[in-house]
Amino acid sequence: MRILVISDVPWSDDNSVGNTYSNIFKNMKDVEFANLYCQSGTPTSELVKEYYQITEKDIIKNLFKKKSRRNNKTVEGNLSITFNKKEQKLYDILRSLRFQSFLLIREFIWKIGKWQTRELNNFIKNFNPDIIFTFCLESVYYINIVEYCKEISGAKLVQFFTDDVYSFKSQNPSYLIHKSCIRKTIRRSITKTDLTYGATRKLCEEYSRFLHTNIFPLYKICDTHKNTKTTFNNPLKITYTGNLFYGRWRVLALLAQAIKEINENGLKIVLNIYTTGLFSNRIQNALNVKGASMLLGGISYSEVKKVLSESDMVAHVESFENREIRKTHLSFSTKIVDCIQSGNCLLAIGPEKVESINLLNEHNIAQVILKNSKEEIKKKLTKILEQKKILTKTAERMREYGVNNHSEESLKCNLYNRLKAISKGAN
């Protein structure tokens, strides 16, 4: 099979999108992959044989040129594009703004930009994919690119919902306009989709009703061969390696304050936070708590696996704020799978309304705190300090869950067979 993977960022193991694709497709035999992506950078996954890049940078540059130029990248060679000062300033401004109105401007730029080029057509036709595989994103232009590639290639389309991109989450007028366009585009794209996956069972159930189609669960695969830990660091080491979006930093700040109070009479627990991005002084001050926690920079996926393995607990947090719950309630954190692979206990803090927290609590495979309370966090951590065997027993339950639900053999075989069936015309 020849599979064209379309993504917003390049397929690289050090970003969450690329890491998930590699996890899904690694060790799958008799398959060749190409990557079409819409942001700057270059794919680094060993699975990618060919790639093509279309970015906002290209499109903005074309607005300054009478004759459009395209950036076609393959493994055989790269064509670089440079901006003059005027072009670079406009590009940087548009990339830095995050208000909803500017998301609409972004959509407009892609709408008027002529990205449907002969070079793109040649790339797709030369690769000649049997299947196009993509995450379904909250973006009209991105879905338009996916549909265009399906149209000119004749390939079967597989879409994967990893997050809730369909529900309304705000009453902001510009948001409602944009979201209505996105929902309409998603409904249209589903009619052209041959196979649809979702990251959680709850998401599959809800989206099957919304979109009137069968949606199958597709879970991230994990290595369950690592033994659970029976000896621990002093002080106990808690590690967080996710992002700080959706109000998660506030929960981590609460955790840091709870640890600070526990450590008043001596260092018993430390929290290390590895994450990428530029953060306000407010966030840095909240997460860099002397004698409790440190906000550290982003690290590669290989380093993530190492620091998690060296930890005693892996933290997973979700915000208790209603506006943030609406954004995350159907999502499943890939960091949960990373925790299973580390052999450590998972410490989860968040509301039961969020599917990832609910799953952990329902299956009793983590130390879960369901209240937005510093006292509840202190109570849980104090009990763990007094009975460290809790860490081993919880990790063992998590490992057993991983064996039953995330083993490579069963998940990859099921995915391969479905992809092979639709590539041959079966549904």
Give CA–CA dist 212/198, Å, rounded: 14
Give CA–CA dist 46/426, Å, rounded: 30
The domain limits of the chain are 2-221+408-423, 236-405
How do residues 133-187 score in pLDDT, each as one tens digit? 999 999 999 999 999 999 999 999 999 999 899 988 888 888 888 899 999 999 9
Contact criterion met (CB below 8 Å) for 129 and 103: no
How do residues 126-145 score in pLDDT, each as one tens digit? 999 999 999 999 999 999 99
Pick the CATH number of 2-221+408-423 from 3.40.50.1820, 3.90.420.10, 3.40.630.30, 3.40.50.2000: 3.40.50.2000
pLDDT confidence band for 326 (50 / 70 / 90): confident
Nearest Cα residue to 131 out of 89, 45, 193: 193
CATH topology (fold) of 236-405: Rossmann fold (3.40.50)
pLDDT confidence band for 339 (50 / 70 / 90): confident
pLDDT confidence band for 63 (50 / 70 / 90): low
Nearest Cα residue to 170 out of 162, 184, 160, 180: 180
pTM across the whole model:
0.79
Exposed / middle / buried, residue 388 (Cβ in 10 Å: 0-12, 13-18, 19+): middle
pLDDT at position 410 over 80? no
Total number of residues shown for the chain? 427
- The set of residues, in sequence order, having a beta carbon less than 8 Å from that of 299 and lying 6+ positions away, is 241, 274, 307
Contact criterion met (CB below 8 Å) for 312 and 344: yes
Give CA–CA dist 95/102, Å, rounded: 9
Which phi and psi angles does 42 have, rounded to 5°?
-135, 135
Q: In this structure, what token pair is assigned to residue 198?
A: 């979702």
pLDDT value for 26: 87
pLDDT confidence band for 124 (50 / 70 / 90): very high
Exposed / middle / buried, residue 362 (Cβ in 10 Å: 0-12, 13-18, 19+): exposed
Higher local confidence (pLDDT), 281 or 224: 281
How do residues 349-365 score in pLDDT, each as one tens digit? 999 999 899 999 999 99
pLDDT at position 191 over 90? yes
